[in-house]
């Protein structure tokens, strides 16, 4: 099966000379359609760097990352083809919740009606429909993160990259987020790469990668250090 994304000995170093920081090194992996990967490891280990490389948000300073099944770099693909859930706040404060969730669809050329319909559906899947008319500043941190997940799912991504999407949530809300992600994956055949500190969440995903001190390690054949 042609992988959605493949990394070959990929690394990322920030800065130069004596101030250089190696965030990730020697990472080789593939993600195929339908894969569900939990990325675990301590804070500062390189998990976020790995996810950003796989999503095309950052470029490796060593090795390479390609997207064989997608055919091009994510920046040149239809918005929403790769859905990204960031660890920090990422909603636009001037837009209400429906508008925030609908934005990737509008950028992809959907009509306002179709984008709003898909946005409301994604919010309903996460139990967030009462928040639809509110602004981000009116939401709790956990609600903001759940809306960010809804935004990533609304566009029907072929690859979802999520950085600690349940980190601010209680177990019930975290479970609902995973339920929505799994339902979307079953419906579309999308792949999921999810970084988490929660081993209960990680246990729900069949593939596990570990990042420690910038090194990617796993016993799953799809990826090797």
Residue 170's nearest CA partner among 192, 195, 149, 200 is: 200
Angle at 203 between CA 86 and CA 33, to 5 degrees: 65
Strand segments, DSSP code E, in 41-174 are: 62-66, 82-85, 159-163
Q: How many CB atoms are located within 10 Å of the residue 220 CB?
A: 13
pLDDT tens, per residue, the chain with 225 residues: 899 999 999 999 999 888 899 999 999 999 999 999 999 999 999 999 999 999 999 999 999 999 999 999 999 999 899 999 998 889 999 999 999 999 999 999 999 999 999 999 999 988 899 999 999 999 998 899 899 999 999 999 999 999 998 888 888 888 888 888 888 888 888 999 999 988 888 999 999 999 999 999 865 544 443
Residue 86's nearest CA partner among 204, 195, 4, 207 is: 195
Are residues 196 and 38 in contact, defined by beta-carbon separation less than 8 angstroms? yes
* Domain ranges within the chain, ordered by starting residue: 33-61+69-209
Residue 88's nearest CA partner among 38, 157, 163, 169 is: 163
Are residues 161 and 129 in contact, defined by beta-carbon separation less than 8 angstroms? no
Whole-number Å distance between alpha carbons of 115 and 132: 13
Whole-number Å distance between alpha carbons of 220 and 17: 35
Region label for 136, one of left (φ > 0), alpha (ψ between -120 and 50) or beta (otherwise): alpha
Query: Quick one: pLDDT at residue 219?
Result: 56
Query: Quick one: pLDDT at residue 222?
Result: 43
CATH 3.30.1490.20 fits 33-61+69-209, yes or no: no
Query: Quick one: pLDDT at residue 175?
Result: 87
């Amino acid at each position: 099966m042609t992988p959605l994304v493949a990394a070959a000995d990929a690394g990322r170093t920030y800065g130069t000379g004596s101030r250089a920081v190696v965030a990730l090194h020697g990472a080789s992996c593939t993600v195929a359609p339908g894969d569900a990967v939990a990325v675990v490891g301590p804070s500062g280990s390189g998990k976020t760097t790995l996810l950003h490389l796989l999503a095309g948000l950052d470029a490796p300073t060593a090795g390479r990352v390609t997207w064989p099944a997608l055919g091009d770099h994510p920046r040149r693909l239809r918005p929403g083809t790769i859905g990204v859930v960031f660890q920090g706040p990422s909603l636009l404060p001037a837009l209400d919740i429906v508008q925030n969730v609908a934005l990737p669809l509008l950028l992809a050329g959907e009509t306002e009606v179709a984008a709003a319909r898909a946005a409301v559906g994604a919010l309903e899947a996460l139990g967030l429909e009462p928040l639809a008319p509110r602004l981000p500043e009116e939401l709790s941190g956990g609600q903001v993160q759940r809306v960010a997940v809804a935004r990533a799912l609304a566009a029907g991504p072929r690859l979802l990259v999520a950085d600690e999407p349940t980190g601010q949530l209680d177990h019930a809300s975290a479970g609902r987020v995973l339920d929505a992600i799994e339902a979307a994956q079953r419906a579309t055949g999308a792949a999921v790469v999810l970084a988490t500190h929660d081993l209960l969440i990680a246990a729900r995903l069949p593939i596990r990668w570990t990042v420690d001190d910038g090194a990617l390690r796993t016993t799953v054949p799809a990826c090797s250090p």
